[in-house]
Structure 1
Amino acid sequence: MADTSIYRDLAERTSHTFYLGVIGPVRTGKSTFIKKFMEAAVIPN
């Protein structure tokens, strides 16, 4: 199991709000990654 203390620390220091930037060249699937991530990890919960 992964050590999640860094995530707890980040959440405490940022009042449970942080931004994630996805960068890369055009046509590499950035929007698709964001869409799939939201469908799999965020929206079901």
Structure 2
Amino acid sequence: MVKKMSKKVVILHGSPRVSGNSDILAKEFKKGSEDAGNEVNFISNEIY
């Protein structure tokens, strides 16, 4: 039996535009990474 090891992922999101392309991409990457069983730390500079 092969044990799947989860990874620790850090996403640094620095785009000032809410709902812009970078925002959408970062959030989708976070969702996919969590769905794969990884531990995700999402750091954003959103001030809104």
State TM-score, norm by structure 1: 0.33
The structure with the largest helix share of the pair is 1
- Higher relative contact order, structure no. (Cα contacts within 8 Å, ≥ 6 residues apart): 2
The structure with the largest strand share of the pair is 2
State TM-score, norm by structure 2: 0.31
